[in-house]
Amino acid sequence: MKRIVFFAFVLAPLAAQAQEVTLRLVSAFPENQFYVKRTIEWVEKVNKEAKGTLQINFIGGPKAIPTFEVGNAVKTGVVDMGFSTGAFYTNVMPEADFLKLSETSAAEQRKNGGYDLINKIWAEKGNMRYLAKVVEFTPFHLYINKKIDKPELTGMKIRITPVYREFFQSMNAQVMTTAPGEVYTALERGVIDGYGWPIHALFDLNWQEKTKFRVDPGFYNAEVSLIMNLDKYKGLPAKTRELLDRQTLAYEQQNDFWKAYNQNETKRQADAGIQTISFDAATSKAYVEKAKEIGWESAIKASPQYGPQLKKVLAKQAN
Ligand code: 173
């Protein structure tokens, strides 16, 4: 009798406390991308440190859930966590793609109200928690296989995601949206004359084999992050949630990593024979300004409510 009482009052609560939470994570980027490998390493570290409390179970990449469906899968709870960029889930909310317009860093956005605003919107429109941004300080570029001497793409078919749509269209490109996993074949078959992509991660997918030119300068700021189903996030025991917040923040705080990585990737492209196309100073300046102007203009049009609020925390304010 005594023993039973001991079990009920002492051991049973201990057993409940020891319940380990498992979160299922999918990646919108192909598994052979360096981003994903780096994230899997982070997951392994978390799993070691959080043993008994939290385990993240990496399910896979776009073969598990297609690139443009990861956002919806997180929203509805088909999976618990997603590794994605906002451009891949504009079908959940247009605001997802606005984070490319960030001129302030993730660290600054944690202080200036940006992180809280993002989380307000992500919760309200996407039933999501925006855990942490883990790729930044990374410009996008236009890569093409035909030489141009001015920012003019008439007659060219360019692979895009929502990141580049309005900007490339403003240069008269014919655009075609595809997931990263389909770009190599499109290049190989000559279906596209070029594509938008960050300064890095070209080699991960072997695109250097099919790429002649990179247009400089770059524009915008690539954003890749960990997102989570909001109900799942709220339902975590407080201690587990705090642990997850700490671990995702620690990952975000390593973003300076990308600065040196991108320099190296730029060199690697030159070494692989990718030539750069540059414009004169005035044209370059106008090119970058146009990207920004068109980006915010379409953002505010797509979200009159949150576009202007996000601009305040994402854009560097003119003094
Ligand atoms: O080009 C893309 O697929 C894209 O939108 C993107 C965004 C962030 C990082 C890498 C790619």
Whole-number Å distance, alpha carbon 9 to ligand 1 midpoint, is: 53
Whole-number Å distance, alpha carbon 198 to ligand 1 midpoint, is: 7
Per-residue confidence (pLDDT) for residue 131, from 0 to 100:
99
Task: Tell me, using a 6 A CB cutoff, whether residue 196 lines ligand 1.
Answer: yes
| Rounded Cα gap, residues 213 and 31, in angstroms | 26
- 50 vs 13, 60, 77, 243, CA distance in Å? 20, 21, 23, 8
Beta bridge pairs of residue 158:
175, 194
Task: Tell me, using a 6 A CB cutoff, whether residue 187 lines ligand 1.
Answer: no
Whole-number Å distance, alpha carbon 208 to ligand 1 midpoint, is: 16
Nearest residue (by CA) to ligand 1, atom 8, is: 222
Task: Tell me, using a 6 A CB cutoff, whether residue 85 lines ligand 1.
Answer: yes
| Rounded Cα gap, residues 201 and 33, in angstroms | 7
Beta bridge pairs of residue 176:
159
Cβ-contact 32, 89 below 8 angstroms: no
Atom nearest to 223 CA in ligand 1: 8
Cβ-contact 39, 83 below 8 angstroms: yes
Residue 36: which H helix or E strand, with range?
Answer: helix 34-49
Q: CB burial class (10 A; 0-12, 13-18, 19+) of residue 105? A: middle
Q: At what angle do helices 307-314 and 281-302 cross, to 10 degrees?
A: 140
Per-residue confidence (pLDDT) for residue 1, from 0 to 100:
46
Per-residue confidence (pLDDT) for residue 19, from 0 to 100:
86
Whole-number Å distance, alpha carbon 156 to ligand 1 midpoint, is: 20
Give the DSSP letter string of 254-268: TTTHHHHHHHHHHHH
Q: What are phi and psi of 109, to 5 degrees?
A: -70, -25
Task: Tell me, using a 6 A CB cutoff, whether residue 118 lines ligand 1.
Answer: no
Whole-number Å distance, alpha carbon 197 to ligand 1 midpoint, is: 6
| Rounded Cα gap, residues 121 and 130, in angstroms | 10
Task: Tell me, using a 6 A CB cutoff, whether residue 198 lines ligand 1.
Answer: yes
Beta bridge pairs of residue 86:
none
Would you give per-residue pLDDT tens digits along the chain (319 residues)? 455 555 555 555 555 556 899 999 999 999 999 999 999 999 999 999 999 999 999 999 999 999 999 999 999 999 999 999 999 999 999 999 999 999 999 999 999 999 999 999 999 999 999 999 999 999 999 999 999 999 999 999 999 999 999 999 999 999 999 999 999 999 999 999 999 999 999 999 999 999 999 999 999 999 999 999 999 999 999 999 999 999 999 999 999 999 999 999 999 999 999 999 999 999 999 999 999 999 999 999 999 999 999 999 999 987 5
- 161 vs 164, 195, 207, 231, 285, CA distance in Å? 6, 9, 16, 29, 23
Give the DSSP letter string of 89-119: GTTT-GGGGGGGG--S-HHHHHHSSHHHHHH
Nearest residue (by CA) to ligand 1, atom 1, is: 197
Task: Give me the count of residues in the chain.
Answer: 319
Tokens of 306: 């949150």
